[in-house]
Amino acid sequence: MQFIDEAIIHVKAGDGGNGSAAFRREDGVPRGGPSGGDGGNGGSVILVADSHLASLLDFKYKRHYKADRGEDGRNKDQYGAAGSDLTLKVPVGTVIYDEETNEPIADLDADGAQFVLAQGGIGGKGNIHFKTPWNQAPRTAEPGTPGEEKTVRLELKLLADVGLLGYPNVGKSTFISAVSRARPKVADYPFTTLVPNLGVVRLSDDRTFVIADIPGLIEGASDGAGLGHQFLRHVERCRVLLHIVEATFTTGPERSPKHDFDVINRELAHYAPELARRPQVVVLNKVDAIDPKDVEEYRREFAEAGVELLAMSAATRDGTSQVLEKLWTYVDRR
């Protein structure tokens, strides 16, 4: 299934039905009188968050949605039927923005959360409401009001406790596959992760939390370089960020763990300053491929910047349990 995390849709609520201007013509009612019923209310367009959905894929192929119109009123005091509401299901974590102003309208961050995106029109009153002692045969009836119409942008932000950060090929996908049942693509070339992945981590004592793995970031990501900038929104809701740096540097001699750490944090600050201030657990990966003395040297370098550097090998799972326990200290702060 394709992962689509952004879509623009146009919605139109149903118009209200028109009121009727009618008069009685039954036997035994010699004086008659007004008998026009009210029009029915138009149907609304309602968004509902559904935990069984993981993408906005449905909205990629259909972008126009219209609710039913209310029926017109009829004679013999018959009111028109209300139009049916149109319910659209979206993934939990969907944020609705006004396409013109870019202002957020609603955030459906819980399963079953609802939001009336477009309110249906009100049915017009029939002439039975306009009879007065001095106007026994009113010919006045109200038209229904139009339903709301708007264009909105749907933006999916995954709900996770922990967000993975790091350059491509530092071992994020290997880590999430080692500690959860998520099975992202793992290969020895950059950008193997093309879409965000979610994994549920289970610790002892029935403790669980959710990790989100996004495509690797590179320098200039916040300005559009690489793939990660498209998915940075998916770590905005995370309580803590797991920042993985690499120990082997097979992708470039100019890189180092501290260099990667600084570059990624600059990109975060450029994209969203509040995201850069989120708590981070920093871990050096692939330590099974380097000398233990190098690990200590890297730790001293990070310590000078006031950052604690953990160490692990996601491939052998050595040190991963310590990393998970460290993450739990942030996740469990309720």
For residue 193, give both structure tokens.
């992760």
89 in helix, strand or coil? strand
**Cα gap 322→284, rounded to integer Å:** 12
Q: What is the pTM of this model?
A: 0.69
Indicate whether 246 belongs to any domain.
yes
Last residue of a domain, one of 156, 175, 207: 156
Distance of alpha carbon 54 from alpha carbon 234, whole angstroms = 12
Q: Which pLDDT score, from 0 to 100, does residue 265 have?
A: 86
Whole-angstrom Cα distance, residue 283 to residue 22?
A: 78
Is 128 found in the same domain as 76? yes
- Which CATH number does the domain housing residue 218 bear? 3.40.50.300
Q: Same domain, yes or no, for 325 and 279? A: yes
Confirm whether 54 is domain-assigned.
yes
In a domain, 117, yes or no: yes
State the pLDDT at residue 190.
42
In a shared domain, residues 172 and 292: yes
State the total domains in the chain.
2
Domain final residue, candidates 122, 156, 190: 156
What is d(CA 55, CA 50) in angstroms, rounded to the nearest whole number? 11
- CATH number, domain of 90, equals 2.70.210.12
pLDDT of residue 229: 55
Q: Do 257 and 117 fall into the same domain? A: no
Q: Are residues 69 and 203 in the same domain?
A: no
Same domain, 253 and 271: yes
Angle between helical axes of 257-271 and 292-304 (0-180°, round to 10): 40
* Model pLDDT, residue 230: 59
**Residues 248 and 316 grouped into a single domain:** yes
Q: Does residue 128 sit in the same domain as residue 187?
A: no
Residue 1 domain-assigned (yes or no)? no
Whether residue 302 is contained in a domain is answered as yes
**Structure confidence at residue 260 (pLDDT):** 86
CA dist 67 and 82 (Å) reads 11
44 and 116 within one domain: yes
Regarding whether 325 and 183 lie in a shared domain, the answer is: yes
Strand 240-246 with 162-165, pairing? parallel
Looking at the fold, whether 251 and 128 belong to one and the same domain comes out as: no
Q: What crossing angle do the helices spanning 172-179 and 320-331 adopt, rounded to 10°?
A: 80
Specify if 113 maps to a domain.
Answer: yes
Q: What is the predicted pLDDT for the residue at 251?
A: 47
CA–CA distances in Å: residue 200 to residues 93, 162, 210, 298? 17, 10, 5, 30
Cα-based angle 206, 210, 215 (whole degrees, multiple of 5): 155
In a domain, 96, yes or no: yes
Cα–Cα separations (whole angstroms), residue 91 to 23, 60, 284: 51, 14, 34
Segment 235-277, tens digit of pLDDT: 777 888 999 988 876 545 567 888 888 888 888 888 778 877 8
Range of the domain at 68: 6-156
Which residues of the chain are modeled with pLDDT < 50? 1, 184-194, 218, 220-228, 251
CA atoms within 13 A on the CB side of 120: 26
The reported pLDDT for the residue numbered 188 is: 45
Same domain, 289 and 174: yes
Final residue of a domain: which of 140, 156, 172? 156
CA distance 226 to 220: 8
Given a contact cutoff of 8 angstroms between Cβ atoms, the answer to whether 147 and 11 are in contact is: no
pLDDT per residue as tens digits for the range 167-219: 877 888 888 888 877 554 444 434 444 456 677 788 877 788 888 777 655 45
Q: What is the C-alpha to C-alpha distance for residues 40 and 226, in angstroms, rounded to an integer?
A: 53
